[in-house]
Amino acid sequence: MADDMHFYEPAQGHGLPHDPFNAIVGPRPIGWIATRSGEGVLNLAPYSFFNAFNYTPPLIGFSSIGRKDTLRNIEQTGEFVWNLATRPLAEAMNVSCAAAPAEVDEFALAGLNPLASRVVKVPRVAESPVAFECRCTQIIELQGLNGDGVGSWLVLGEVVGVHIARHLLKAGVYDTAAAAPILRGGGPADYFEIGPESLFQMRRPSYP
């Protein structure tokens, strides 16, 4: 049975055409993060190392591999907005991930409209049906086993404002599939979308 499994130690390399780590941990939700620099320049960038981490208070986070404009902006202002990346917005989201200089406004680059938030000073993506306004709670440099920093930073924020398009609330329940969210897969270009055909339900069992 050992021959049926590909085994590798990451420190020694995976020996495959493409690192499988991202594909295995996936599909992953996309952190489409809007920020504003201390000088007022808008920035919009997607992060595939993203997720929610707590209910009360609601906390979300993403990891910046390297000190990118998004990280620096949050360090300066303490605020950001997460925007839901959907299938209709996939191409615009992809444009916003270009490695543009700090003075470039990715809202304009991707043909998107910034819309004023209600609580924070960073705008949200007007075209996105869901957005979380956030204030930063922690920035943590990630470490390896030896305790050394790896050059990546986990940014955590408390959600202080939520925007949901009303058509996504069915009898008061958020309809995940109706929003057509996209998720990052493996390989250099793989994405997935969620549709109603993907739905199945399981209730949490009681014990005993």
Average pLDDT, the chain: 95
Average pLDDT over residues 25-33: 94
- What element of type H or E holds 2? none
- Joined together, the tokens standing for residue 95 give 């444009």
pTM, two decimal places: 0.94
CB 36 within 8 A of CB 102: no
Secondary structure of residue 73 in the 3-state scheme: helix
**Token pair 């993203």 is at which residue?**
50
What are the structure tokens assigned to 55, written together? 């209910």
1, pLDDT greater than 60: no
Condensed to tens digits (0 to 9), the pLDDT of residues 69-126 reads: 999 999 999 999 999 999 999 999 999 999 999 999 999 999 999 999 999 999 999 9
Tens-digit pLDDT profile for residues 129-162: 999 999 999 999 999 999 999 999 999 999 999 9
CATH of region 17-196, choose from 2.30.110.10, 3.30.2320.80, 3.40.50.1980, 2.60.40.10: 2.30.110.10
Question: How far, rounded to the nearest angstrom, does the alpha carbon of residue 194 sit from its chain's CA centroid?
Answer: 16
Beta carbons within 10 angstroms of residue 27's beta carbon:
19
